[in-house]
Chain A
């Protein structure tokens, strides 16, 4: 048991190290860009804009590229490269971008840790199930709206309401007030609900969620060894009913693998990430 405890701590750290790494990377890029534009900043560090390192920019540019052969304003080929790499990762492992990389997801998780301390077991269970299920369709509507409006105008209209852009640019004066308001509401919401933006409004999460039905490596629960302790359900930030599923392919899964035997499940080889299982 002691060995298991040590192991859990170690495995818990790897996802958080990756998350912290990407959060710091994006922070450094955003801050350096600000200083470069003001005549200082480091030439060694990337001065790319946040738009150019956001894979969702590639997604919303596809229509423009196909119809007029040009990127949407402020988007460059780097966003398209990242879009391809994230799709590749998603086909392999599901939306690991959401669970391991996205700095806005990490930001919400950090605030969520505070929420967990305050509300203990009530945390992430405030929204009634029926309402929660209904609201989860919103992000698909947001996805459709963003793609339509970007295709129509050729502009990054979503930036005006994007909390991710607001989080890494709030000091620049370039952020629309509504994006700042959404960022603050997301932060407050994360005190009660784990990853509220991801669950209800994120268009990119909605798109990557579809990869759950085709991903190569899936999460499987072994019914024969499961002791029905429900810890997997409690660990899932997206409130997926892992304890009653044999295979996790729900569109909401963010591939954080917190439910796995390596992370939370107390029984070895019961919740695992596998390829080739029927």
Chain B
């Protein structure tokens, strides 16, 4: 098999496995899996910025929330239908990322991390400030009848799973196309050596801004889909914890690998779920996982696999 065929075969196999999963796993896990796929889209977005372009952001919760609240508020208060609201959520994520990027990308390293953290904090506080509309930390639910897309009832388990899978598949294929394109290679070049890349005639600022905007598109879409599929919009998704979770999922699965975000989100979800049965020290699990990863497995699960055996893994 040539490299390209092998890569596409692997990723299509993963999608087929996900499509067949509800037939074999109990409904409880199918619902979990739907949630994991939506959150994995968020993580894939984070991976485009952090994994491929080297932008360590601590503000991605803002982009997730931008999509979630744009969609949620338009449906709940604006009377929009699900389709246009989903599109608006996706664009809100990309738009906020673009504006934040214009400012924050003037900084690098630790300063970039703090600036994105601060913008996200301002966003979180803004949600609380407009508590009449957003109901603050408590959040709000979306009416059942508003949650239909193209005539499909998103509330039932089967359609919800299919919708989550369709979204995830689109995200995965988009990501694969991106990283195998020339643009994707330039993003990696910016991560590896920004000054060299500039002296090869590429504008690193533009490359980073593109990566962050695409990243925001993914995050916004994930937020919007979460609101529609699970019917809940809440400020907890805008807290720094969700920015950290995105970082954790990507680190765990393997930063700069296409399937890493899914693997990381899946493993972490069940790790916390499993630990939750033994102890309620979930914060400890998250904290310890971060420290162990950064100390001993900085390339994550798939990154390690790529280094050891599968050099062709994108």
Q: Do A and B come from one complex?
A: no
- Spell out A's residues near B (CB within 8 Å): none
